[in-house]
Structure 1
Amino acid sequence: MYKEKMRKLFHTVKSVIMYPHIIGRINKIESNIIFFFPFYHTGGGEQVHADILNAVKDQFPVCILTEMSHNQDLKSEYQKSAELIELIRLGSKKSFRKFVAKRVARILNRKGNLTIFTCNSPFFDLMAPFLDDKIRKIDLIHTYRGDVVGDTEHRTLPYVNQLDNRVVLGNKQRELTIGFYKRFGLPDYLNERVVVIPNAVPLVNFNDSRRYPTKTLNILFVSRNGWEKRPRMFVDIAKKAFEKNMPFHFTMVGDFEEFGNQVTPNVTLAGRVSDKQKLGTFYKEAHVLLVTSVFEGLPMVILEGMSYGVVPISTGVGEIPYHVGEQSETGFIIDGSLKEDAMVLDFVDKITYVFENQTILQSFSKKVVKKVAGEFSKSAFIENYRRLILNK
Structure 2
Amino acid sequence: MKIIYTIHGTCNPGGMERVLINKVNYLANLPNYDVYIITSGQRGRAPFYEISSKVKCIDLDVNYSETIEGNPIIRLYDSAIKHFRHKSRLKKKLFELKADIVVSMFTNDVDFLHKIKDGSRKILEIHFSRGFRLLKDRKGIMRLVDVYMTYLNDRIVAKYDRFVVLTHQDRESWKSKKNISVIYNAVPNGDNKIVSSLDNKKALAIGRIVYQKNMELLVDLWAEISKKHPDWILTIVCVGNSIELQEKIKSKSLDKIINLVPSTNSIEDYYIESSLYLMTSRFEGLPMVLLEAQNYGLPIVSFDCECGPREIINHKENGYIIEETNETDFVEKVSMILENETLRKEFGSNAKTNSLKFSEENIMQQWLELFKEVTNENTN
TM-score range for the pair, normalised by the shorter chain length: 0.7 to 0.9
Residues 376-387 of structure 1 aligned to structure 2 (within 5 Å):
376-387=358-369
**Partners in 1 of 2:148 and 2:315 — Cα distance?**
32
Residue pair 2:3, 2:99 contacting (<8 A) in 1 also: no
Q: CA RMSD in A?
A: 2.8
Identical aligned pairs, as a percentage? 22
Residue pair 2:294, 2:355 contacting (<8 A) in 1 also: yes
Residue identity opposite 1:386 in structure 2: L
SS of structure 2 residue aligned to 1:116: strand
> Counterpart of 1:161?
158
SS of structure 1 residue aligned to 2:194: coil
**Partners in 2 of 1:274 and 1:303 — Cα distance?**
17
- The TM-score with structure 2 as length reference comes to 0.79
Residue identity opposite 1:200 in structure 2: A
More helix by share: 1
**Partners in 2 of 1:152 and 1:35 — Cα distance?**
23
Residue pair 1:114, 1:135 contacting (<8 A) in 2 also: yes
**Partners in 2 of 1:75 and 1:66 — Cα distance?**
18
> Counterpart of 1:13?
none
SS of structure 1 residue aligned to 2:110: helix
Closer/same/farther in 2, CA of residues 155 and 204 from structure 1, 3 Å limit = farther
Which moved further from structure 2: 100-109 or 313-322? 100-109
Residue identity opposite 1:173 in structure 2: D
- The TM-score with structure 1 as length reference comes to 0.76
Residue pair 1:35, 1:64 contacting (<8 A) in 2 also: yes
Q: How far has the Cα of 1:330 moved from its partner? A: 1.6
**Partners in 2 of 1:229 and 1:370 — Cα distance?**
27
Residues 253-272 of structure 1 aligned to structure 2 (within 5 Å):
253-255=237-239, 257-258=242-243, 259-263=245-249, 264=254, 265-272=256-263
**Partners in 2 of 1:114 and 1:260 — Cα distance?**
48
- Which of 353, 356, 378 is 2:339 aligned to? 356
Q: How far has the Cα of 1:242 moved from its partner? A: 3.5
Residues 289-308 of structure 1 aligned to structure 2 (within 5 Å):
289-308=277-296
Matched, 1:322 2:311: yes
Q: How far has the Cα of 1:322 moved from its partner? A: 2.8
- Which of 181, 200, 204 is 1:195 aligned to? 181
> Counterpart of 1:27?
none
Flag structure 1 segments of 5+ consecutive residues without an equivalent. 1-30, 182-190
> Counterpart of 1:117?
103
Residue pair 2:276, 2:299 contacting (<8 A) in 1 also: yes
Matched, 1:80 2:53: yes
> Counterpart of 2:83?
98
**Partners in 1 of 2:131 and 2:195 — Cα distance?**
43
> Counterpart of 1:285?
273
Residue pair 2:64, 2:82 contacting (<8 A) in 1 also: yes
Q: How far has the Cα of 1:105 moved from its partner? A: 5.0
> Counterpart of 2:8?
38
> Counterpart of 1:50?
21
> Counterpart of 2:123?
138
- For 1:60-116, what per-residue CA distance to the aligned partner results, in whole angstroms no more than 9, with x for missing partners? 322111245897453532x53522222344455515322213313542564555421
**Partners in 2 of 1:364 and 1:306 — Cα distance?**
9
Closer/same/farther in 2, CA of residues 139 and 164 from structure 1, 3 Å limit = same
Residue identity opposite 1:385 in structure 2: W
**Partners in 1 of 2:149 and 2:348 — Cα distance?**
35
> Counterpart of 2:141?
none
**Partners in 1 of 2:166 and 2:246 — Cα distance?**
35
> Counterpart of 1:171?
168
Closer/same/farther in 2, CA of residues 105 and 286 from structure 1, 3 Å limit = closer
SS of structure 1 residue aligned to 2:6: strand
Closer/same/farther in 2, CA of residues 42 and 150 from structure 1, 3 Å limit = farther
**Partners in 1 of 2:59 and 2:44 — Cα distance?**
13
Residue identity opposite 2:103 in structure 1: F
- Which of 214, 218, 233 is 1:249 aligned to? 233
**Partners in 2 of 1:241 and 1:385 — Cα distance?**
42
Residue pair 2:197, 2:275 contacting (<8 A) in 1 also: no
Q: How far has the Cα of 1:135 moved from its partner? A: 2.9
Matched, 1:218 2:197: no
Closer/same/farther in 2, CA of residues 76 and 323 from structure 1, 3 Å limit = closer
Flag structure 2 segments of 5+ consecutive residues without an equivalent. 68-78, 135-145
Number of residue equivalences: 335
Residue identity opposite 1:364 in structure 2: F
Closer/same/farther in 2, CA of residues 161 and 355 from structure 1, 3 Å limit = closer
Residue pair 2:206, 2:289 contacting (<8 A) in 1 also: yes
Q: How far has the Cα of 1:252 moved from its partner? A: 0.8
**Partners in 1 of 2:104 and 2:208 — Cα distance?**
22
- For 1:200-253, what per-residue CA distance to the aligned partner results, in whole angstroms no more than 9, with x for missing partners? 212222264333xxxx63110011222201111122222223345533210011
Closer/same/farther in 2, CA of residues 243 and 209 from structure 1, 3 Å limit = closer
